[in-house]
A and B are shown apart, each in its own frame.
Chain A
Amino acid sequence: MDRSITRSFNSNSFNNVNNVSNFNTTINDDKAQVLQWLSPLEPQKRYQHLRESRLEGVGEWIFRTSEFQRWNAGEDGPAHSVLFCHGDPGVGKTHLR
C-alpha cells in the first residue's frame, strides 16, 4: 500500500516536471535560457523575502536627509549620481526604504 502511494506520487511529480519544461520551451521560447546566460544570480528572490519581512515605516528617515534629497533631485550633475549609505552590520542598511 505504502509502496504504491510512493510510486504514484513519484510518477505524478515526474509528469509535473515534464509539463513544466514543455511549457517553458514552447510558451516562453528560450527567454529563460537567455536570462540564465546573462547571470545565474537571482536577486529578485532575496528582494521578495526582504520586502515581506521589513516593517512599515522603518528607514524612512533617509528621505529627509539633505544627501538623499540632493541625489534624488539630480541637480548637481551626472558626477553626483551616486549615493553611498554606510554603517556597521545590523544597523539597517538592507532595510532602508
Chain B
Amino acid sequence: MTVAGLYCDYLDRKEQTTSNMLGAMLKQLVGRGNIPEDIRKGFEDAKDHFGGVPPQVPQVVNMLKTAIGQRQWVVICIDGLDESLPVHRAGLLKSLRAIAQEMPNVRLFLTGRPFISGEVEKHFPDVYSISVSPTKEDTKAFLRIKLDEDPEPEAMDENLRADIMEIIPKTISEMYI
C-alpha cells in the first residue's frame, strides 16, 4: 500500500492550486524510484516548447492515474480541505472524483470542517462520514503526558492530579457534544 498526503493551509492557499496539490501527491508516489517515462517526457516537452511551464490539471490527472495504476493500493489523504481556496478545492475534488471513478485501487481519506460536507457529498454521494471530536481517552492520554513533563512537579499533589484527570476530559467532551 502506498500513501500520499497533503495538508491544505490558509497560509499557502494561493500556492495550493489544483495542479500544485495534485502534483504534490504525484511527487510522493514517484519520488522514491526512477521518474516514470510519461512524467519525464512531459517535463522535457514543457522545457523545450513552453519554457518550463508547470503541468496543467488534465496532464497531472493522467500522470496520477498512470502512477496509481502501477501500484497495488494507493491511499490519498488530504487534511484541512476547507483551508484551500474554493476554486482550487472544486478543481481538486473534481479531479479526485475522476481518478476514483477510474482507478478501483485508490481510496481517499479526507478531513475538513463540517461546512464543506455538502461539497464533498456533491462529488462523492456515497462518502462515509465520521464526526470527529476529542474522546475522553484522547484527552486523558494528552494530560498524562503533559503532567509527566510538568516543569514544577513539587506544586503537584495526588488530589490536584486526580481533579485534573477527572474534570478536564469531562469538560472537553461536553464542549463538543
Residues in A lying within 8 Å of B, measured CB to CB: 31, 33-35, 37-44, 46-47, 55-59, 61-62, 65, 67-68, 70-71, 74, 76, 78-89, 91-94, 96
1/0 per position for B100-143, CB-CB distance to A under 8 A?
A: 11001011111111101100100011111111111101100110
Return the chain B residue nearest A50 by Cβ. B7
Return the chain B residue nearest A43 by Cβ. B6
Please name 8 pairs of A and B residues whose Cβ atoms are closer than 8 Å in the assembled complex, sorted by A. Answer: A38-B24, A43-B28, A57-B141, A84-B117, A86-B116, A91-B134, A94-B111, A96-B111
Find out whether the CB atom of A70 lies under 8 angstroms from the CB atom of B128.
yes
Which 5 residue pairs spanning A and B have beta carbons closest together? A39-B23, A87-B132, A41-B24, A38-B23, A93-B111
Give the complex CA separation of A34 and B109 in angstroms: 27
State how many angstroms separate the Cβ of A43 from the closest Cβ of chain B.
5
Known: A81-B100, A84-B120, A87-B114. A39 touches B24 (CB 8 A): yes
Residues in B lying within 8 Å of A, measured CB to CB: 5-7, 9, 12, 15-16, 19-24, 26-28, 30-31, 35, 39-40, 43, 46, 52, 54-55, 60, 63, 79-80, 100-101, 104, 106-114, 116-117, 120, 124-135, 137-138, 141-142, 145, 176
Find out whether the CB atom of B128 lies under 8 angstroms from the CB atom of A83.
yes
Interface SS of chain B: mixed
Chain B residues, Cβ within 8 Å of A68: 128, 130
Residue of A37, A80, A82, A85 contacting most chain B CB atoms (<10 Å)? A82
Known: A93-B79, A96-B111. A84 touches B128 (CB 8 A): yes
Chain B residues, Cβ within 8 Å of A34: 35, 39-40, 43
Find out whether the CB atom of A62 lies under 8 angstroms from the CB atom of B130.
yes
Find out whether the CB atom of A82 lies under 8 angstroms from the CB atom of B108.
yes
Give the complex CA separation of A79 and B74 in angstroms: 15
Return the chain B residue nearest A58 by Cβ. B138
Give the complex CA separation of A53 and B85 in angstroms: 27
